[in-house]
Every structure is written in structure tokens, then in C-alpha cells.
Amino acid sequence: MKALSIKEPYASMLRNGKKTIETRTWETKYRGPILLCASKKPVSDISGKAFAVADLVDIHRMAKVDVDAACCTIYPNAYAWMLDSIKPIRPFPVKGRLGLFEVDFKEEG
């Protein structure tokens, strides 16, 4: 499954439903299921672990309308990654990487 590393506090915000848009300075043509992973630093209870599965449904240049759901202000070259159906999973260790990367994971159910 495609995976994405996210730093805290944004990883926890995605996990608890406060945040539904992730931001990046790059985009991808990929759309579909994505495994959300928390970076090792800063340290939290989910650091270095996969913590949720979501559907990446769209990516566009970040606009004012995205600010609340992204939990951040607009910054230069920001893209809004629209995540839908964010489902927390039992966290498990994942070695994060830059960009999208592959993790051997199959959703239960």
C-alpha cells in the first residue's frame, strides 16, 4: 500500500479527525488508499508507526478554503491533499521515508 510520513502534531490531528487535509510542496498523480504514518520525531505515542488508513481523493493548490481542515496557514507552493474516510488502525512500526513509499499492509475487513 502507498504510505506517507507525517510529523506531529499533524499525525495526531489526522488520527483524531481534527484534520482532513494534509499539505505538501509537491503533488502526485496517485489517488486511492493511503497508509498514514507518524514520523519518528518529534516523539509521541504513535511516532515511527502507521496509525490510520485513508483515501487520497484529490490534490490541488492550497486555497483559503482549505486552511481550517489543514490546520495550517497557506505557505509558498502548498498543495492540499484531500483525505477522505480516515480510519484509525492499531499502530504498528513503519520505517518512514520521504515521498510516497510502499508498505506491506492489507486492510482488515
Provide mean pLDDT across the span 37-56.
Answer: 96
Write the CATH number for 7: 2.30.130.30
pLDDT for position 43: 93
Provide the residue range defining the domain that includes 11.
2-102
Per the structure, the count of domains in the chain is: 1
Instruction: Indicate whether 53 belongs to any domain.
Output: yes
Instruction: Indicate whether 107 belongs to any domain.
Output: no
Instruction: Indicate whether 91 belongs to any domain.
Output: yes
HSE-CB at 39 with a 13 A cutoff on CA atoms is: 11
Question: Over 70: is that where the pLDDT of 63 sits?
Answer: yes
Mean of the per-residue pLDDT values of the chain:
95
Instruction: Indicate whether 97 belongs to any domain.
Output: yes
pLDDT digits (tens, 9 = 90+) for 83-92: 999 999 999 9
pLDDT for position 106: 79
Nearest to 18, CA basis, from 80, 91, 72: 72
